[in-house]
Chain A
């Protein structure tokens, strides 16, 4: 009989070789193909490595995370990445190779590195976001109310930055003729110098506001660029300054695909500088349309009321109308009578009909008793004065 082994002896020697070779834990790159947590809380995974075509498998193994470990590990991963561990994820797992005569090869998972799954810079971003949230700053600027019609802006940008020209052209040459007051605060808008430079400019804006400058919002504008150029807008200090700024900050940084932490902590964030100009103009266009609609509704409502009053036919309108006419006729009569009395009282008019005032010693002579024979008196006529000497006085009873 040939030399032979029982199955368990074979398995046992495989186990010994494997455990001898892999007595330490190793880090393994793989994809979670399936993931199940069973009733007892243990997590079972099918781990695979795919070929270059991304479809066929070149390696496959079972992975197990024991109950007590799974609780810690899944919570940590969720906290660090904001995501649940799930099928389809590429992971870097620390595993202990285990071989069982009954169940074959298993990888006992002790740890999974979240940074591998989301990428290093993404990890930094998530850390920054979590820190801002923990410090209570994340939503501070977003909780400010943007004025209904903002028109005075402190624009933080660089005259040479991509997007600055587009923004200004779009805003100032708007088709509706709305006027805006924009003051440029120049700052470096890319690379390592940007966060410090922009923070300095934000401080300057604050100082100007303390000295009486009035702004409705701060605008942070920069067109698209390389990912590395724009990474500065994920800076903790800059995002924190924006979050704590006392008036709304509106950002438009980069292309459609870019979304930075500064965008998250700002009050309003749009994709591109042109979109920001559109956003602002739109606030005015909307208000304008609303006013036009209100005005036309008011006109219709008023017309309706008058028509209603006429339709009622209860005479109220004609009563009011005649009362008004009567009142105006009375007033015209009153003025005519006053006009007549002025005319009658006008000394020049009186002279035309033969009534002439007589002057004596600079005043009007009103009584025959005030003169004596020989006095000189003057009679005023419409075209001249006649001077006379009194030679006879005849008094009459009044």
Chain B
């Protein structure tokens, strides 16, 4: 997977979730999409955490 920005990843995640929720989607595809969505969710959480820690560091170093 190429390195995505946080915003790109969240937007991709939202698209995947909508597809998972579509009742007419074939089961096998849904299972794959669930796996992909879980990975993407983990990536988003990690990126958000890192960005938050960075901001904290900048603010604290200025105090």
Contact = CB atoms under 8 A, between A and B. Distances in A.
Contacts of B48: 328, 331-332, 335
B1 interface: no
B8 to A, nearest CB: 14
Contact of A335 (B31, B44, B59, B63): B44
B10 A366 contact: no
Interface string A340-359: 01101111100000000100
Q: How large is the interface on A (under 10, 10 to 19, 20 to 34, 35 or more residues)?
A: 20 to 34
B63 A310 contact: yes
B17 A345 contact: yes
A369 to B, nearest CB: 15
B10 to A, nearest CB: 7
User: SS class of chain B's interface: helix, strand, loop or mixed?
Assistant: helix
A346 B34 contact: yes
A321 B41 contact: no
A39 B31 CA distance: 116
Interface in B5-21: 10, 13-14, 17, 20-21
B26 A364 contact: yes
A338 B62 CA distance: 35
A345 B34 contact: yes
A263 to B, nearest CB: 53
Contacts of B27: 347, 357, 364, 380
A334 B11 CA distance: 11
Interface of A: 302-303, 305-307, 309-310, 321, 324, 328, 331-332, 334-335, 338-339, 341-342, 344-348, 357, 363-364, 366, 380
Interface of B: 10, 13-14, 17, 20-21, 23-24, 26-27, 30-31, 34, 37-38, 41, 44-45, 48, 52, 55, 59, 61-63
